[in-house]
């Protein structure tokens, strides 16, 4: 039983029975957990508009195992008002956490990274740098961090002017001697290492790498938000 209120975000919600909700929540101290919010969709429930994605909350719950019961929910600050064009990137991050994080595995520094991501999506002029930094951090916390420092076979430091192919179970290899892997420049590897993603010319390479690494962890699971991105892209006028 969790008597104390815990900082948390709602990652996903769906109707349950007549007036309840099934929630996937991400708490700072207890990681990802499944919750039942009983009566949350009843007409007079104060929880109806409270249990929304991207809103910082304080939650308490009872019970153990895969599904606990929400007992208390309170606002923990002003909700982050993501612009309409940033809601989909936020949902993408939420889906990654739901698909990849084990339940009840405390990840306070990843929780902090998620808070930073939402703040950047709400305020920054571009979404891509924030998403790529978050993807890198998520891979680190899953135990599959990218080798961005040295060439995999020789141990030679990555050189900005060189070109590599990143083999996911090994690391970056000199492009001249490798056929497989994700092509990427040394400049892009170092930029991702340092978190300095201000150069738009590098972002396409970095995105290919982080997406390939995440696909390996997703093990064939298709992300619904990726499909929505494709629909949005195809709907743009020529």
Tally the C-alpha atoms within 13 A of residue 38's C-alpha that lie toward its C-beta.
7
Query: How far, in Å, are 86, 90, 187 from residue 54 at the CA level?
Result: 11, 8, 33
CATH superfamily of 2-75: Nucleic acid-binding proteins (2.40.50.140)
User: Where residue 1 falls among pLDDT bands split at 50, 70, 90?
Assistant: very low
| pLDDT number for residue 49 | 87
Query: Do residues 134 and 161 touch, judged by C-beta distance below 8 A?
Result: no
pLDDT digits (tens, 9 = 90+) for 106-126: 999 999 999 999 999 999 788
The predicted structure's pLDDT at residue 232: 72
Q: What whole-number percentage of the chain has pLDDT above 90?
A: 81
In whole angstroms, give the CA distance from residue 48 to residue 58.
Answer: 15
Q: Where are the domains of the chain?
A: 2-75, 84-234
Per-residue pLDDT tens digits for 185-237: 999 999 999 999 999 999 999 999 999 999 999 998 999 998 887 887 666 66
Question: Whole-number mean pLDDT of the chain?
Answer: 92
11-66 tens-digit pLDDT: 999 999 989 999 999 999 999 999 999 999 998 898 988 999 999 999 999 987 78
Fold of the domain built from segment(s) 84-234: de novo design (two linked rop proteins) (1.20.1440)
pLDDT at 2 (0 to 100): 44
Q: Is the pLDDT of residue 166 over 60?
A: yes
How far is 38 from 72, CA to CA, in rounded Å? 11
Return phi, psi of residue 43, to 5°. Answer: -60, -30
- Residues 209 and 143: their CA atoms lie apart, in Å, by 16
Average pLDDT over residues 79-89: 88
Banded pLDDT at 127 (limits 50, 70, 90): very high
pLDDT at 96: 98
Beta strands in the chain (DSSP E): 2-16, 20-27, 31-37, 57-62, 67-75, 163-167, 171-174, 182-185
């Amino acid at each position: 039983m969790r008597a104390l209120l815990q900082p948390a975000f709602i990652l996903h919600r769906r109707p349950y029975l007549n007036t309840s909700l099934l929630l996937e929540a991400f708490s700072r101290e207890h990681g990802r957990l499944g919750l039942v919010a009983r009566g949350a969709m009843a007409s007079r429930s104060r929880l109806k508009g409270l249990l929304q994605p991207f809103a910082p909350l304080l939650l308490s719950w009872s019970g153990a195992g895969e599904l606990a019961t929400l007992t208390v929910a309170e606002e923990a600050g002003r909700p982050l008002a993501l612009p309409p064009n940033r809601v989909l990137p936020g949902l993408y991050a939420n889906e990654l956490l739901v698909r990849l994080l084990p339940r009840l595995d405390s990840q306070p520094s990843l929780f902090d990274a998620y808070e930073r991501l939402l703040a950047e999506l709400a305020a920054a002029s571009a979404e891509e740098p924030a998403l790529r930094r978050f993807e890198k951090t998520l891979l680190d916390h899953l135990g599959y961090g990218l080798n961005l420092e040295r060439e995999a076979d020789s141990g030679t430091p990555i050189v900005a002017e060189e070109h590599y192919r990143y083999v996911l179970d090994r690391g970056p290899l000199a492009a001249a001697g490798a056929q497989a892997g994700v092509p990427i420049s040394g400049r892009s590897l170092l930029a991702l290492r340092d978190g300095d993603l201000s150069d738009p010319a590098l972002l396409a390479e970095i995105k290919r790498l982080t997406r390939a690494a995440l696909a390996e962890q997703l093990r064939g699971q298709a992300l619904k938000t990726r499909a929505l991105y494709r629909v949005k892209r195809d709907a743009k006028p020529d």
